[in-house]
Amino acid sequence: MSNQRVASRYAKSILELALEKGQLEEVHEDFQKLTTIANGNRDLSLLLKNPIINSEKKLKVLKALFAKGAQEMTLTFFEIVSRKNREEILIDVAKEFEIQYNVHKSIQVAELTTTFPIDEKMRKEFIAIVKEISGKDSVQLVEKINPAMIGGYVLKVNDRQLDESLSSKLRVLKNQFSENHYESKI
């Protein structure tokens, strides 16, 4: 079974348990913390995927990272995963948990790439566009800045992409000009 499917099943299990116990927000914070730490520190990802390091040491590292403020349910989940020698999927579980949490809370995540930081007025306009596209009430806008785009924006919502960047329009023009439509009358 692929790691993605296993991570999805683990995430679904911990999400349902957190819902049952009324600790969804707290467990969500713990998994967000794990994702943030993993994104900021490549060594954690390498440690969890390393087959030479035993599960006990990996669990000690996780417990040290989550010593303050972590939910008992999250720590118990880490212990269960560690007993099964599946630490390498914990980061995937955290990402999948975030996806399933967003589905449960009806939150649409959209990625906006611009050449400059946007102001509050523009942010509200983009959020309104995403709400119209997705039909969901809540939107989480992930903003990225890419000066190489020259101008405009790229908005990604699920599998849809609105590319209104100048660089893409220039690319289209270049392709049109590369097709030589000129015919000589000789």
pLDDT tens digits, 10-22: 999 999 999 999 9
DSSP 8-state code for residue 44: H
pTM of the model: 0.77
Residue 174 has pLDDT above 70, yes or no: yes
Residue 75 has pLDDT above 70, yes or no: yes
Return the structure tokens found at 83.
């007993």
Residue 67 has pLDDT above 90, yes or no: no
Domains identified in the chain and CATH numbers: 3-103 (1.10.520.20), 106-178 (no CATH)
Q: Which of 157, 14, 7 is nearest to 95 (CA)?
A: 7
Instruction: Specify the pLDDT at position 1.
Output: 60
pLDDT band at 80 (very low <50, low <70, confident <90, very high): very high
Helix or strand or coil: residue 184? coil
| Residue ranges with strand state E in the chain | 107-114, 138-145, 153-157, 160-163
* Cα–Cα dist 165/158, whole Å: 19
pLDDT band at 149 (very low <50, low <70, confident <90, very high): confident
Kindly report which listed range (23-27, 70-74, 136-140, 149-153) carries the lowest average pLDDT score. 149-153
DSSP 8-state code for residue 158: T
Are the C-beta atoms of 112 and 144 separated by less than 8 Å? yes
